[in-house]
Chains A and B, each alone.
Chain A
Amino acid sequence: MTVPAVTAAAPRGGRPRSKNWLGALPLLVVTAVAFGIPALTLLAGAFTVKDPATKVSSFGTANLARSLQGPYLNALLSSVQLSAVVAVAAAVAGTFLAQAVITSRFTALREAVLTFSGVLSNFGGVPLAFIWIATLGNSGVITTALGLGPGVLYNFWGLALVYMYFSVPLMVLVVTPALDGLRPQWREAAQNNGATTWQFWRYVGIPVLTPALLGGLVLLFGGAFAAYATAYAMVGSTVPLVTLQIAEALTGDVLIGYENVALALSLDMIVIALLVMAVYLPLQKRSSRWLR
């Protein structure tokens, strides 16, 4: 009896604790190498300016300034715009779809929609682009059948339409638990006090849903903002997007002195993503007290 008792106390002693800490070491080291080195290189490179004539590198903000001008600025703005349009449209559509499924009498429908949302929200990249090209591309089935003519898909709104395909299911997944959390009693209480449906949503439903809606918006914005494969396979470079510009600056021929613009553009992207997170977190904290 006494021997196990002694060893039971041991985990609180010095030796096992140091062992426990060591368990996390491999992950920390690998993260420092695989994530830290690229991140620091990116940061350092974005602020390193190479003089085209003397080939001397110096610290400076010229890359960042360039990345916020002309076609680069256009691409950045167009990416933000596209992501915002997709996030808002998909958030609205996803919320309506989730509410329609939740209030339906068929539980099988609910299960099916949630399962497929899980699957479709992971659906991006190249296959998504090809499936839409087969549908609405220049020689797509629907384009030919309806005689729509070329170029329906290869523009800003075409991209938005395609991005909705993975954004709406993601929103359904995010907002369903929150919609489930709206208790029927709240609705009954509101009705007994003479509130209309609109008033219920305006003063009870939407405020309670706000954290979930905000969380969804941030996720959808991030997903659309970071998307590269779908856009590349679909529009090449006809629609200016920051991810396409970065890839072009990284792989293609770049003007002398512009080598580090891809790094500066990447930094811009990360800053925008962080800003979106920074706006969302305090709002979410303030309004999440109603659920749970």
Chain B
Amino acid sequence: MVAVATLPDVTPGPAATARPGQRRAWRGIVLVVAALYFVVPMAVSFWFTVYSEGQGFSLAAYGRILSAPGFLPSLLLSLALAAATIVAVLLLTLPAMLAVRLGAPRLRPVLELISTLPLVVPPITYVVGISTALRDGVDALAATPFWATLIAIQDERFPFVLVLAYVMLTLPFAYRSLDAGLRAIDVRTLVEAARNLGASWPYVLFRVIIPNIRSSIASASFLTLALVLGEYTVAALLGYETFPVWIVTISGNDGQLSVALSIISLLLIWLLLLTLSGAGRKRR
């Protein structure tokens, strides 16, 4: 606001004094426009959830969340999927990344490629591949024992196929944050020292490596959690009612409720990510 106000007295001034003022003026305009663009929808949608023409102010929309049908099952499903994805992605990436550092450097480009592919392939095309593979797979494997596995991973109560998909989608983020952590420590020396002192491989992994990269493991887990809690495309098109899918389903009848849910789920994810960036800052 202040910066915008300086705009008029800048223009008539001589060039030498005009320059800093002018610079401040465009900066002010840019910041004000950006602030308006980013703050107004947030503020307005909060207003939308608490005020309505007939009833005036009320927080009823937030109260309705807990009693809405399907709220708890879908949230629990999303949380369970997130937990399974975090465990799976850590168990898969950490040994692979250690292997690359300790004795198989030729695998590094392969890992880089694997962790970049999900960024190039849009999630919706990935879902198309998965659902076609599942459909064709059920047809093709009907007579074999694999058929039971294929059915089991599509269980409504805990669709393991979603965990597989989420592991792939979160791989780029997990890989990058773990890579940053491993880069900061001398993995080879640590491992060789521990092994020479007689430590077993599990001991090396859980008592030497993991404690040293605790904050990158935390950030990889946070990013995965945020991704799974917000993911709509894959779950919706494969027909599972995770939390974001449920929000869309419930939104048909109650506009205020759906916006209230959006705000709540945003705050949740923001809190996670803010914790994460706070942790990152402390580390530096």
A residues lining the B interface (CB < 8 Å): 4, 7-8, 11, 16-17, 19-24, 26-28, 30-31, 33-35, 37-39, 41-42, 45, 93, 96-97, 100-101, 103-104, 109, 115-116, 118-120, 122-128, 130-136, 139-142, 164-165, 168, 197, 222, 225-226, 228-229, 232-233, 243, 246-247, 250-251, 262-263, 266-267, 269-270, 273-274, 277
Whether, in the assembled complex, B125 has its beta carbon less than 8 Å from a beta carbon of chain A, the answer is: yes
B31 CB to nearest chain A CB (Å): 6
In the assembly, what is the distance between CA of A39 and CA of B38, in Å? 38
In the assembly, what is the distance between CA of A104 and CA of B100, in Å? 43
Contact of A273 among B120, B165, B195, B232 (CB under 8 A): B120
Residues of A within 8 A of B80 (CB): none
Q: Are A34 and B274 in contact (CB under 8 A)?
A: no
In the assembly, what is the distance between CA of A93 and CA of B255, in Å? 32
Residues of B within 8 A of A34 (CB): 164-165, 167-168
Residue among A19, A22, A97, A119 with most chain B CB within 10 A: A119
B residues lining the A interface (CB < 8 Å): 19, 23, 26-27, 30-31, 34, 37-38, 40-42, 44-45, 47-49, 91-93, 95-96, 98-100, 102-104, 107, 110-111, 114, 117-133, 136, 164-165, 167-168, 192, 195-197, 201, 226, 230-233, 236-237, 244, 247-248, 251, 255, 258-259, 261-263, 265-266, 269-270, 273-274, 277
Residues of B within 8 A of A270 (CB): 120-122, 125
Residues of A within 8 A of B34 (CB): 93, 97, 100, 168
Known contacts A24-B96, A118-B277, A270-B122, then 14 further A-B pairs from the complex at CB < 8 Å, ordered by chain A residue = A11-B192, A16-B103, A23-B98, A23-B104, A27-B96, A27-B114, A34-B167, A109-B31, A122-B230, A134-B45, A135-B40, A141-B47, A226-B124, A270-B120
Pairs A-B, 10 closest by C-beta atoms: A38-B129, A20-B103, A23-B99, A226-B122, A127-B262, A266-B125, A229-B232, A23-B95, A134-B45, A134-B48
Residues of A within 8 A of B44 (CB): 134-135, 140-142
Contact of A35 among B117, B233, B262 (CB under 8 A): B117
Residues of B within 8 A of A116 (CB): 38
B177 CB to nearest chain A CB (Å): 13
Residues of A within 8 A of B274 (CB): 115, 119
Q: Are A141 and B129 in contact (CB under 8 A)?
A: no
| Total A-B Cβ pairs within 8 A | 236
Contact of B232 among A8, A23, A42, A125 (CB under 8 A): A125
Say whether, besides A20-B104, A26-B95, A270-B120, A7 and B27 are in contact (CB < 8 Å): no
Contact of B99 among A20, A31, A104, A118 (CB under 8 A): A20
Q: Are A251 and B237 in contact (CB under 8 A)?
A: yes
Q: Give the residue name and chain of the B residue nearest to A114 (CB).
A: B277
Q: Are A21 and B99 in contact (CB under 8 A)?
A: yes
Contact of A269 among B38, B91, B122 (CB under 8 A): B122
B100 CB to nearest chain A CB (Å): 7
Residues of A within 8 A of B117 (CB): 35
Residues of A within 8 A of B45 (CB): 130-131, 134-135, 141
